[in-house]
Amino acid sequence: MAAGVGKTFRMLAEGRGERDAGRDVVIGYLEPHGRAETEAQAAGLEQIPPRTVRHRDVAVRELDLPAVLVRAPAVCLIDELAHTNAPGLEHGKRYEDVADVLAAGIDVFSTVNVQHLESLNDQVAELTGVRVRETFPDRVLAGADEVVLVDLTPAALIERLRAGKVYAAERVPAALNGFFRVENLEALREIALRQVAEDVEARRQRELPSRRLDRAVGERLLALVSPHPEAQRIVRRAWRSAQRLGAELDVLIVLGPSPSAAEREQVGAFRRLGALLGAHVLVEQGEDVVAVAARVARERRSTYVLMGAPAPRRGLRRLGEPLTDRLLRALPGVDVRIVADRSGCER
Amino acid sequence: MIEALLGGLVGVVAALLLVLVRRRRAVTPSKRRILFPYVGTQLSPAALDAALRNARVEHATLVPAYLAPVPLTLPLDAPIPGQCTRAFELQEAIERRAAAAGVAVDERIGPGRTVRHALRQLLEQERYDRIVVAAATAHSDGLSAADVAWLLEHAPGEVVVLRPANDAALAPV
């Protein structure tokens, strides 16, 4: 939530719990701020010494990433996820160091204040009048297996501040008149509570699709699209139909063996659109679009297939069976709907 | 006999011309891309037409991006059907206008906590050669002065800011 609520203390407590359960836990980086409670909590846990880097003639303590990777514990505690590293280290930001540690198969416990979250940066600045410079992308938080909110009422936090448990005595008056005003802390607390509630809801939503599929009843639509901008109208039309029917929508993109950069770009755009619509975007590779679409429709128990008008057949292709006929034959009992292109119609 | 042959020849030439004309009018996507972020439920046709003219002159694809603020009560990647419904109505109106102008479009919906956050994410995700934005006026929605200033300071590349004339909002389909 904010500095002084006890994030580092809680991280260390979690680390001690893991160690007591028999896991190999080390402190990768600790920002004790001279707080006696924090130092006491860290006592007894192995700590990888920070490396000292000179930046603008000042000695700066930083996480020793190579040493952490060499030590390779089961769990590493790394404080202050949003921290910006001194120039010349492996990465510019600590969350990038953490990504390397995770990639090495090491679990990481870390800490962060809500105002450092990139998407909330503007809002926090508007609410508190203080622009936080160090931010980290939302995807880092979204990728966490678990998010724990360390909550404290504004009154209790100010009490801790006054008691000298957050900053040294000489910094307390400035803090109380600046960032640590009750209204700021209340706003930050509300944002933090909402953010964690969102995280819980997002995880719940991610678990739902597979369960929904298991009990698939009623209508289920499959939009068959090519990775081109014009195909967006098929998704739009299919989504509207799905809304009316109260049905789930799957969007299937069938790519050839070597998709172009433009096609890959469109797939990314369709994935983002699918997330906003609550649709499931499926990307398959295959030479035969009909065969892939038929397989996916059976797997997803689709009741409708929506597609654009097939391109005019030229040359020898005119001799073959039209794509729509093949699809109808491959999917008996499934409605196939051709979505018209109305963009050229008169307004 | 000769008259019949000439008549047939004229028919064939006319048919060929028709085919050529039809092919010429087909809108093909271009590698150059003009990003056109917009906000709100109303979009100034004057601003859109200016962006389309720009795209047509440069033989570029227009990438209209509806900026969709996501309330804090929802996860940032949560489905936002209400916003999508509004965005789709505008997108279809834009596509019709673009088709009439012979410009290829590649529509987007850019979510974010605020307009500026949505813009920032959009700039990170999209490939573009130029940005065209409409500033808010008393008559139509657009980017606020603060957001335009932010864009001018932070967006890499050329930014064209339009101040639309006093015209009716683009009617959704």
Query: What confidence tens digit (pLDDT) does each residue in A139-172 have?
Result: 787 778 888 877 777 777 777 777 777 777 777 7
Is the pLDDT score of B24 beyond 50? no
Of the residues A115, A122, A188, A264, the best mutation for testing chain B's interface (the one with the most B CB atoms within 10 Å of its CB) is: A122
Question: Given this model, what pLDDT does residue A280 score?
Answer: 94
Dihedral in degrees, nearest 10, Cα atoms B42, B45, B51, B53: 170
- Closest by Cα among A225, A217, A227 to A306: A225
**In the predicted structure, residue A316 carries a pLDDT above the cut 70:** no
Residues 67-106 of B with CB under 8 A from A: 68, 72-81, 83-84, 88, 91-92, 95-96, 98-100, 104-106
Start-to-end C-alpha separation, chain A? 53
Give the mean pLDDT of chain A. Answer: 82
Q: Point out the residue among B76, B114, B125 whose CB comes nearest to the CB of A138.
A: B76
| Residue A311: how many other CB atoms lie within 10 Å | 9
Measured over the CA atoms of residue B134, residue B136, residue B137 and residue B140, the dihedral's sign is: positive
The CA-based angle A32-A35-A39, given to 5 degrees, is 65
* B contacts of A201 (beta carbons < 8 Å): 74-75, 78
- Looking at the predicted structure, is the pLDDT value of residue A37 above 80? no
- The pairing of beta strand A51-55 with beta strand A58-62: antiparallel
Q: What is the mean pLDDT of the segment spanning A23-30?
A: 93
Asked if residue B2 has pLDDT above 80, the reply is no
Q: Is the pLDDT of residue B121 over 80?
A: yes
Question: Per-residue b/e over A316-340, b at no fewer than 16 CB within 10 Å?
Answer: eeeeeeebeebbeebbeebebeebe
Q: Which domains does chain B have, with CATH numbers?
A: 30-162 (3.40.50.620)
Question: What's the CA gap between B20 and B27, in Å, rounded?
Answer: 14
Confidence of residue B21 (pLDDT cuts 50, 70, 90): very low
What is A216-339's CATH superfamily?
Answer: HUPs (3.40.50.620)
Could you read off the pLDDT of A58-107 as tens digits, one per residue?
Answer: 888 899 999 999 999 999 999 989 889 988 888 999 999 999 999 999 99
Give the mean pLDDT of A6-33: 88
Q: Which chain B residues have a beta carbon less than 8 Å from that of A125?
A: none
* Fold observed for domain A7-208: Rossmann fold (3.40.50)
Contact of A237 with chain B, judged by CB distance below 8 Å, is answered with no
**Separation of alpha carbons B74 and A199, rounded Å:** 9
What residues of chain A lie within 8 A of the CB of B100, using their CB? 344
**Is the Cβ pair B29, A347 closer than 8 Å?**
no
Torsion over CA: B85, B91, B95, B101 (sign): positive
Q: How confident is the model at residue B97 (pLDDT cuts 50, 70, 90)?
A: very high
User: CA A129, B117, B112, A79: dihedral to nearest 10 degrees?
Assistant: -70
Residue A114 pLDDT: 77
* Inter-chain CB proximity A232 and B104 less than 8 Å: no
Higher pLDDT, B162 or A115: B162
**Boundaries of CATH 3.40.50.620 in chain A?**
216-339
Both tokens of A53, joined, read 């880097």
The first and second tokens of residue B76, run together, are 């940032």
CA-nearest residue of chain A to B29? A229
Q: To probe the interface with B, which of A117, A198, A234 has the most B CB atoms within 10 Å?
A: A198
Of A199, A239, A276, the CB nearest to B111: A276
Contact predicate A94/A80, CB 8 Å? yes
How many CB atoms sit inside 10 A of residue A37's CB?
14
Q: What percent of chain A has pLDDT over 90?
A: 35
Residues of A within 8 A of B29 (CB-CB) are 228-229, 262
Closest by Cβ to B95, choosing from A191, A275, A343: A343
Name the nearest CA neighbour of A83 among A28, A19, A44: A28
Q: Say what the pLDDT of residue B28 is.
A: 62
The answer to whether the Cβ–Cβ distance between B104 and A229 falls below 8 Å is: yes
| Whole-number Å distance between alpha carbons of B134 and B46 | 9
